[in-house]
Structure 1
Amino acid sequence: MKKRVVITGLGVVSPNGVGIPDFLDALKQGKSGIQFYQHLKDKHFSCCIGGIPEVSEDLMKAYLTPLQLKNFNSSGILYGCMAGMDAWRDAGLDIDEAAEVDFDSGIMFGTGQSGVDKFREAIYKLDEGNVRRLGSTTVAQTMSSGISAYLGGILGCGNQVSTNSSACTTGTEAILMGAERIQSGKAKRMLAGSCSDHGTYIWGGFDAMRVMTYKHNESPAKGSRPMSASASGFVPGSGAGALLLEELESARARGAFIYAEILGGHMNSGGQRNGGTMTAPNSLAVQRCISLAVKDAGIRTSDIDTINGHLTATIKDPMEIKNWKTALGLSKNDFPAINSLKGMTGHCLAAAGSIECVASVLQIAHGFIFPSTNCEDLHPDIEEQIGKLAIPHKSRSQEVNTVIKASFGFGDVNACIIFKKFTN
């Protein structure tokens, strides 16, 4: 019999809020974290806006030691450490470097590209013949598993400590993989989440593909427009989200506060067939992922209070809505509220799924549905499919029992997870 998995801790580093209190406030207000960045313009980017979390030097020092910060140059690992440590502490767990190894706790923390700025720094030193000046932390900051390695040492986790990477699906996938380890009885706790760097070396390829908007350099807060008729491409973002997943019996024994329960989910790939490509989803696979997640959770589609979509502000948004509608089998009149966080944060790439999962859980814990901003001019195909009332333009106060959230990524990969208000 599967173990029940609950969420006992949350952490977030988002463009529109660093830390759960600020992030929660931003969600309720529909606050944007997207700004204009001169350094993007100086590099001749078409899209000169983005979402970068505001993290001061003093705040960095509150999480990492002077030794850890020596020659440190990896924003993604920094964000991941901050979100992960916050989720750990939020769950009522101590961070003690002198403590024994915790073999009951593990980490599944994903990323896309890690330490790119550090890697560039290393390349220049090597090209100049200064191999001895690379420093002792270059490997840790540039290896794919750098984030889980940093967190593993800080928290002393002795269970599985791994990093996954599946493009925009990474965060949601990490949470599902962490939950599966607990369900199988192989761990009591798993810190799950994902992080993403920011900057020209991460975002440049997307700018070259012309998938980012160039129309809102003078109006950054209006740039990311999921589900909008005037959407012109996504806005890049960065950050990290983290959830402390725990076996129900363990959480009860500790007297831990429970934000929500993970009922189930599903992960798959469209195989880049039937219309699916490196950059476009196979709709049949997306629909299958959603329907099998619902089946795994043991719920009816009519039980769903709200959907948090992937919805990136590209031409694929109407197709995603069609996939949701087909998979859930609900009529236009029965379709639940659906929102996208990306109007406030931009597309945080590998960190998107985990940040959006944190937002989804907060809706359950605090009884509201956050607004989907910048889509007042709703795309006509979306309006025809689900109507205007399904899109919250302002925060709605209401009891939220069940949230379904999905992420779809480059390579035609999909992940869908279902959260529910915890009941005995």
Structure 2
Amino acid sequence: MNKRVVITGLGVAAPNGVGIPGFESAIKEGSSGITFHEKLKELKFSCQIGGKPQISEEKIKEYFTPLQLRGLNSSGLIYGVIAGSDAWKDAGLEFSGEEEPDWDSGIIFGTGILGVEKFRESIHLIDEGKTRRLGSTSVIQTMASGISAYLGGILGCGNQVTTNSSACTTGTEALLQGFERIQTGKAKRMLVGSCGDDGPYVWGGFDAMRILPGKYNDDPEKASRPMSATAAGFVPGSGAGALVLEELDSALERGAEIYAEVLGGEVNSGGQRGGGSMTAANNKAVQRCIKAAIKNANIQASEIDTVNGHLTATGGDVAEISNWKDALQSGKENFPYINSLKSMTGHCLSASGSIECVASVLEIKHNFIFGNVNCEDPHPEILELINAERIPQQTLEQPVQILAKASFGFGDVNAVIIFKKY
């Protein structure tokens, strides 16, 4: 018999809030974390804005030892360690002792690319014949699994400790993988999440593709406009989100606070066929993913009252709404409320799914639906599909019973997860 899985801890390092209290306030208030970056202007980027978590050196010292701090130059790693450690503490869990790991706890923490600045620093030293100056942490800061390795050592987890990577679906996929491990009895709890680096060496490729907005450099907070008729491309972002998943019996036994229940989900791919490509989704695959997630969660489509979409402020937004409508078989009036966190954070790439899952769980726990900032002019093709009132511009204070969260990524890959109020 499958185990029930609940969420007992949250952590976040987002452009508009580091730590759960600040982040929750920001999404309720519609506060943006998108800012102008002088460095991008110097490098002649078309898009000179982005979302980057604001973390002081003093704050970083709270999470890393003096040895780890020596030569530390990986923004994604920093964000992931902060979010993951905070989630573990939020769940009321202790770090394992020195002699014995916690065999029942594991980690699946993803990333798209890690340690870009460290790579750049290392390449210069090697080219100059100064290899010995690389330091002892250069490898762990630049290997993709460095984030799960760091967190595994800090927390002392003895179950599966690994890193996944599936472009923008990474965080949502990690959550589903952790859910399945607990559901099948292979672990009692899993720390899941994802992180991503920031800066010109991560964002440059997207600027070269001309899919970032170039006309909002003087007004960064207005730039990210999911579902808007004036959307001009996605704003790049970064950060990390983390969640502690736990077997329900274990959570009840230790009296843990429960944020929400995970009912199930689905991952699939469109195979870059039937209209799908490296950068575009196969609409049939997206609809299949949504329908399978609903079936796996053992609910009816009509029970979903809120959707937290992928919705990046690109031409794909209309297609995504159409896919949801077809998969849910809903009318214009009874379509669920839908929102996109990217209006406040930008598109945090590999970190987006986990940060947005944290936001979704907060909505369920605290009975609100955050508003869609910068969507005062919904796209007319979207309004042909659903009523404008289903796209709230201001935060709605009301219960959320069942929420569907989706992430779609480069390579034509999809992930949908279903959360329920516990």
Whether TM exceeds 0.5 here: the answer is: yes
Quote the offset at 1:166 in angstroms: 0.2
Q: Is the 8 A contact 2:198 2:238 kept in 1?
A: yes
Instruction: Report the secondary structure of 1:368's partner residue.
Output: coil
Counterpart position of 1:25 = 25
CA drift of 1:346 comes to 0.1
Task: Answer yes or no: is the 8 Å Cα contact 1:368–1:398 preserved in 2.
Answer: yes
- State the AA in 2 paired with 1:242: A
Cα distance in 2, alignment partners of residues 190 and 263 from structure 1: 16
Q: Following the alignment from structure 1 to structure 2, what is the Cα–Cα distance between the partners of residues 225 and 82?
A: 28
Give the letter aligned to residue 354 of structure 2: S
1:177 alignment partner in structure 2: 177
Gaps of 5+ in 2: none
Equivalent in the alignment of 2:320: 320
Q: How far does residue 100 in structure 1 lie from its aligned partner after superposition? A: 2.2
- CA displacement, residues 72-127 of structure 1 (integer Å, 9 cap, x when unaligned): 00000100000000000000011255362001000000000100100110000000
Partner of 1:92 in structure 2? Answer: 92
**3-state SS of paired residue (1:399):** coil
Q: Quick one: distance in 2 between partners of 1:140 and 1:381?
A: 47
Q: Which residue of 2 aligns with 1:279?
A: 279
1:71-86 correspondence to structure 2 within 5 Å: 71-86=71-86
Moved more, 97-106 or 13-22: 97-106
Displacement of 1:215 in angstroms is: 1.1
1:246 maps to what in 2? 246
Task: Tell me the equivalent position of 1:259.
Answer: 259
> For residue 22 of structure 1, what is the amino acid of its counterpart?
G
Q: State the distance in 1 between where 2:97 and 2:372 align.
A: 42
Residues 282-307 of structure 1: per-residue CA shift (max 9 Å, x gap): 00000000000001111111111100
> In the alignment, residue 30 of structure 2 is paired with which amino acid?
G
Supply the distance in 2 between the matched residues of 1:419 and 1:228 (Cα, whole angstroms).
Answer: 27
Deviations 1:279-335 (A, max 9, x none): 000000000000000011111111111000000000110000000000011111110
Which residue is equivalent to 2:358? 358
What per-residue deviation string (whole Å, max 9, x for no partner) do you get for residues 247-288 of structure 1? 011111111000000001000000000000000000000000
User: Which residue does 2:383 correspond to in 1?
Assistant: 383
Aligned length: 422
Specify the code of the residue in structure 2 equivalent to 1:253.
E
Which residue of structure 2 lines up, in the alignment, with residue 399 of structure 1? 399
- AA aligned to 2:59 is L
- Confirm or deny: 8 A CA contact 1:84 1:191 kept in the other structure: yes
SS in 1 for 2:192: strand
How far apart are 1:182 and its partner, in Å? 0.3
Contact 2:264 2:417 in 1 (8 A): yes
Name the SS of the counterpart of 1:81 in structure 2: helix
CA shift for structure 1 position 376: 0.6
Equivalence for 1:408: 408
Helix, strand or coil at the partner of 1:7:
strand
- Superposed CA offset, 1:22-66 (max 9, x none): 000001101000000100000110000000000000000111111
Mapped partners of 1:100, 1:119: distance in 2? 34
Counterpart residue identity of residue 201, structure 1: Y
Which amino acid in the other structure matches residue 298 of structure 1?
N
Q: What corresponds to 1:368 in structure 2?
A: 368
Q: Secondary structure at the match of 1:397?
A: coil
Residue of structure 1 in register with 2:128 after alignment: 128
Aligned equivalent of 1:301? 301
Q: Distance in 2 between matches of 1:21 and 1:59?
A: 16
Partner of 1:199: 199
Amino acid at match of 1:414: N
Match of 1:349, as an amino acid?
L
Q: Output the amino acid matched with 1:358.
A: V
Taking structure 2 as the reference length, the TM-score comes to: 0.99
Alignment-derived partner of residue 341 in structure 2 = 341
What TM-score, normalized to structure 1? 0.99
- Per-residue CA deviation, residues 125-153 of structure 1 (Å, 9 max, x unaligned), is 00001111111101000001010000000
Matched-pair contact (CA < 8 Å) for 1:97–1:154: no
- Counterpart of 1:138 in structure 2 is 138
Residue-by-residue CA offset, 1:189-215 (whole Å, 9 max, x unaligned) = 000000000001000000000010101
Q: CA RMSD in A?
A: 0.7
- 412-421 or 295-304, which deviates more: 295-304
* C-alpha separation in 2, matches of 1:20 and 1:96: 23
Q: 1:100 corresponds to which letter in structure 2?
A: E
SS state at 1:6 partner: strand
Could you say what secondary structure the match of 1:117 adopts? helix
* Post-superposition offset of 1:372: 1.0
| Local SS of the residue matching 1:210 | coil
Identity of aligned residues (%): 67
Which stretches in structure 1 are left out of the alignment for 5+ residues? none
Is 2:96–2:157's contact at 8 Å kept on the other side of the alignment? no
Q: Which residue of 1 aligns with 2:16?
A: 16
Matched to 1:396, the amino acid is L
Q: Give the whole-Å Cα distance in 1 for the aligned partners of 2:336 and 2:4.
A: 26
The residue that corresponds to 1:332 in the other structure is 332
Alpha-carbon separation, structure 2, partners of 1:186 and 1:225: 42
Instruction: Verify: 1:38 aligned to 2:16, yes or no.
Output: no
Structure 1 letter corresponding to 2:366: H
